Each structure stands twice: as C-alpha cells, then as structure tokens.
Structure 1
C-alpha cells in the first residue's frame, strides 16, 4: 500500500462500522488497531448511565521514548454518526467509490478526517513530541459523557495538551477555505403558562393561558441581545415550538407551552440568558426551564490559527478564512483546557443522504495535518 492509499483505507474501515450515536465497540476497535502499531498507548473506557449514557470514549497518547515529552499536540474528534436515513444510492455503511468520491455515512463528519490524521502520523517520528487523540462516541448525541469525560480522564492523568485541533468538517467550497476559531453558545428554554380549564362559553369561570404565553413570546421576540462583535455575528433567539395539546374546540386549555433556542456570542453566558428570560416570563405569569448546551468560545488569532493557516496555504495555496459561524461542536469543552481550533473536510454533504468525500481531499488533508503537527511540536 502506498502512502496515498493509507487515508483512504482507514476511512473505509471506519465507515464500514455502523456507529450510529452513541457509538461503541467495533469502530473503536478499528481505530485502536490503527494506532497501536504507531506506538500509541490506547485507553478505551465507558462513561455514564441512561438516559444520556453509557458512552464509549478513546484516549490515545504517544510520547518520546527517551528524554523530555516536549510539546503536546492533540487531535480531537468523534466516531459516532447521525442515523443514515432512507434513500441512499448505496449502503451507507458499505464504503463505495463512485468516480472521485468515497460514499458512506461519516465520510466527512468525521471519520474521513480521523483517517487522514492517523495517516499523517505514519510520517511523524515518535521523538518529535507528544501526540494524543481525544475521540468520543457521543458528539452527535447529548454529549454529556463524551468529551467532558475524556477531559476528566486527561486531567486525572496529567496529560492536558498544549494545543488542540478538532477535525470537524469546516471547509465550505474547497478544502482549506475555512478554519473555525470559535463557536457561538447554545441554550434551549421551555416556557410554560398554567391556567384553569373551562368551557369557552363561560370564560369568566376559566383562565386561558394562551394569551399570556403569546404576550411572553412577543416580548421575547422583541429582544435584541446584541449587534455582534468583531468575530461573532449577532446573538439570536428563535421560537421553535408551540404546544397546547387541546383537541376540543370548545374547551379553554389548562396549560400552554413553547420552546425557544438561542445561539449567543461571547458577550453572554448561558446562565445569564436563562435568568433574563426567566425574569421576563415570571413577571408575565409564566415559568421557564433552561438547558445550556454549551458556552460561546473564541481562540483569538495567534500561534495555533497561524500554524494551521500556514499549513493549509502551503499545501493548497489558499489562505483560509477564520470564522465562528455554524453550530456547536465539542471544541466548546476543549476550549476550557487549552487553545483549540477546528479544521477538516468540506461540509456540503454532512448529515445528508449520500454523504461523500473527495478521495483526493483525504490525501491532501493528511499532508496538511502532518504539516500542522510538525509545526506545533517544533
């Protein structure tokens, strides 16, 4: 097998494992089998209980055999994938090359980038420095017992990296055109208003919760959280669900509920936003339950983004855009322990039917990852 086939072979092996979130078992065994011959100490463990667990995780680390461990560079990612859905032109878990593309669930999000990173390690000597892989089976799911449990594991072992790259598919139109240096935070809130059920002909004997809820939602919709920052777009609150559950046309319901989803920049915290909406709703007769999925984070342009950008430009001739766009990722957890940026394959087909990656991009990404690691450990 020549060097240009390594990333492709690894990607096929990972795609062939039907690792719908939360992933366990075979897909981790495949990755372990790839890493151990390269000198990595691989630890696999299961964390958590139902309903958000159990979750399998993998931490692999390789340090110089002699002398000081040097700088520690980490690659983070996930082996779990979203359900494939119906309507694929080929089996989503049977990797298939058609033309210049490799098809299969996880090809770009993100088994392909994991495969490329492991392929890059073949050309990096063990004495170059410390390298680790932080791999979860639950990024696409609740993400409660995944990367957070891996961070606890690293802290217990004293193996916190100096720099971290998350292999999420950040490229848009061509490989290397975008690197993520931050992400907005996310918080969901459930707003409820209780009333008194009654007959619509006797409204004085009932208390309709719907008008109160509508007024609360109107007040929320009028909120302008901010106008954005140098690196972030404006924060936004979106009303995503309304539910009364009243099948009868002549009954005033007892309860009305709504849900909002907020994506916020680093001018806010999730707890602050929950408190603000709770105070507003309670003043108007409602109540709120809020769950913060993740806080906003920003790794300001500096050493890490520069060495990633330089590696991309050296291989592709493209100077990437530094962005904070898109949804959340596990980088939101890793940013709490070290500088982190995200860079990976083109994201046009992620989560879609017939997810596919250009075979050439797997090879080029492996070269870029090698350049990044070598520069980071220098």
Structure 2
C-alpha cells in the first residue's frame, strides 16, 4: 500500500481527520508511522529524525535553555465502524469531528505534528515522540521500549502527553495497585457444614472494611488527588453442595502520587491488618504502577500553566506521564477531547477544541 500524504501545515482538524482515516490499531501502526516519518522529513526544518520500529522520533538541537518533549501514541483501540472520519455541525455540539481516535489521541498527535512543522523559532528545543502500542499491555508500549533502548530521547525539562483532557492541563497521575486477598479453609459437604471451614465467609470482614473505608484527599502543587480503594473481583466456590476451601478478593488501590507503590501496599496492609495479622487472609500484589507528581513548580511547567491561564487539575487515571516522572522529567497531560468519549463507537472531538489546544501550545512553545 502506498504511503498516504500528510499535510502538517494544514488546519490541525483536517490533519486529525487524515490521521483517523489511516487505521492504526495496536500492533498495526506501520502505515501511519511511515506517513508521519515521511511528512516530518519533508515538511520540518532543523529536526534530527529517527525511525525505530513503529516509533518516529524527532528533535531539534538549537542550544535553547530548555527542552520540551511532545509525546503522542499512534495506535487506537479496535475500530468500531467509525472509520473513515466525518464531521457534523449541530446546535448542541457545534462543529464536531467523528471517528476512531479523534479523542484518544489523534487530535493531540495532530496538534503536535502541526506545531513541529509551523513553529519557526520556538523558545525551547523540541523533542517529538510518536510511539506505538499504548492501548494494550504495558510490555508492548513503545514509550517503554524507547526508555529501555534509547533513553537519551526522553531527556527534557518538561513532557506533554497529548492524552485527551478537554483542553485543560491534567497534571501528574495517580498510581495503581492491585492486591489479591486470599482465604483458605476446609472443604466439606454443605449438609455437614460444621465439619468444614468456609473460606468465602472469611472475606466478610474485608468487604465490610471496604464499605466503611474513607479515601484520602491530598493537595499537591494545587492539584487535589482523590484516592480510592475498591473491590474489583471476588471468587470462590466448588459446587452447590460444597463448603469452599479457597476464596479471594481482588482490591484495587488508586493512590495519590506522594505515595510509592511500596507505601501504597503498606497502607493496604494497614487497612486489612485485623485479618492479615490474624492469619485469616494473605495479601499478594498482582499489579502495580507508580504515580507521577505534577511538578508544576518546575519553571518550564509553570510557564505552561501560565499559557493555559491557570486552568489545570489533577489526573486521576494512570498515563504515560508516570514514565517521565520516574525519569525526573515533570510531565502533564494536555489534549483535545472529552476522555469519557475515548474508545467509544461515537468517539468525537469538537473542532474548536483542537484549535484551542493548538493556540495554547503555540503560545507556550513560542515563549
């Protein structure tokens, strides 16, 4: 298949539509990566450009006092009958672009590509990272591959991820921890239940603890993070006439970024101490990812907040900003689109919001 032409200098809403019309479901990003690489090589000046698998990297080295990283993923979730793109104009929503990836996150990517091609002399050196496989298991994430194999490309003073935020800065992100609470007992016929030890019953106090749990709120750099501790799965049982000898409760802890994953696990252990210390339950971490501090006090990040007229809030979900934070690079999420519309068959983004984010970042990058 021939590589489609992308006009990076076009209206970024039109560029978004062109990207959407190029299917790029995770693991199938070669065509869009080819198009982005060709366009960057032909339409930008002063960028060193590198192709690394289905990752396209570009950076300037103009000797500026600071470096800003613009990072966006090329892939989308599976298409749900919503490609090619189309636009509608209604009284309720105005001018809206529809299609898979319009929100997550080809509109954000279009803004970055457009600015790379149209900013003549930005106040910062720029690094543009277009990567693959963000929407699937973390082991495939292209940004993680770059971190392991080409970490020098992730050096910078501030990173901006084009995730959908409705045009607001969403700073940092919460961490996530999943813990399996397990109970053991003794199997028996339910007609002689007294001869067994019901493992499912041992989960009762833990569920009651969760029901009465009050999550913490914490302010960091003016961003309020709200933690949450929730049961997300429960299992146990052998048959309709058997007292079960095994049961489990999976708990997900979304924790503020002032805690490490180790501190988060210690908190979970404290919450369920009565059962854990008494040997009723055991606890095992099955998944964890650190959060990211907002870092808005960093001068480069503070200048971005100023360009956004002070419009920022905390990010509750986990995003790749955590990868940058772990490297000591303050990072924020900023992109067009309502994140609640991401991955939906009716995914859509207001055209005015694409223009708004483009203008905000142009002011910031131009200094």
TM range (shorter): 0.7 to 0.9
Structure 1 261/339 Cα, relative in aligned 2: closer, same or farther at 3 Å?
A: same
Change (3 A) 1:335 1:84: same
- 1:142-174 deviation digits (Å, cap 9, x = unpaired): 23342232233443x466112211111112xxx
How far 1:218 moved relative to its partner? 2.8
How far off is 1:329 after superposition? 0.9
Correspondence for 2:360 = 368
Residue 343 of structure 1 is matched in structure 2 by 334
| 1:236 shift after superposition | 1.8
TM superposition shift of 1:16: 1.9
Report if aligned partners of 1:123, 1:370 keep a CA contact under 8 Å in 2. no
Once residues 276 and 309 of structure 1 are traced to their aligned partners in structure 2, the CA distance between those partners, rounded to angstroms, is 33
2:142 is equivalent to residue 152 of structure 1: no
Residues 1-378 of structure 1 mapped to structure 2, 5 A cutoff: 5-37=10-42, 38-39=44-45, 40-46=47-53, 56-64=54-62, 68=63, 70-85=65-80, 91-99=81-89, 100-125=95-120, 130-146=125-141, 147-155=143-151, 157=152, 160-171=155-166, 176=167, 178-224=168-214, 226-229=216-219, 231-246=223-238, 248-278=239-269, 280=273, 282-283=276-277, 284-290=279-285, 291-312=287-308, 319-337=309-327, 338-347=329-338, 348-375=340-367
Q: Secondary structure at the match of 2:135?
A: coil
SS of 1:187's equivalent in the other structure is strand
Classify the secondary structure of the residue corresponding to 1:165.
Answer: strand
For the residues of structure 2 that align with 1:33 and 1:236, how far apart are their CA atoms?
45
Q: Quickly say closer, same or farther: Cα 1:273–1:364, change in 2 above 3 A.
A: closer
Contact persistence 1:181–1:323 (CA under 8 A): yes
Deviates more, 1:267-276 or 1:183-192: 267-276
- Which SS does the other structure have where 2:139 is aligned? coil
Distance in structure 2 (CA, Å) of the matches to 1:190 and 1:141: 22
- The runs of at least 4 consecutive aligned structure 1 residues that moved more than 4 Å come to 1-4, 126-129, 220-225
- For these two proteins, the number of residue pairs brought into alignment is 345
Separation (CA, whole Å) in 2 of partners of 1:58 and 1:4: 18
Equivalent residues of 1:151, 1:334 under 8 A apart:
no
Gaps of 5+ in 2: 1-5, 90-94
* Uncovered stretches (5+) of structure 1, i.e. residues with no partner: 47-55, 86-90, 313-318
Structure 2 equivalent of residue 316 of structure 1: none
- Matched-pair contact (CA < 8 Å) for 2:200–2:237: no
SS at match of 1:229: strand
SS in 2 for 1:232: strand
Aligned-residue Cα RMSD (Å) equals: 2.8
Partners of 1:277 and 1:288 within 8 A in 2:
no
Q: What TM-score does the superposition give when structure 2 sets the normalisation length?
A: 0.83
Structure-2 separation of matches of 1:221 and 1:81: 36
TM-score, with normalisation over the residues of structure 1? 0.81
The answer as to whether partners of 1:266 and 1:296 remain within 8 angstroms in 2 is yes
The alpha carbon displacement at 1:69 in A equals 5.9
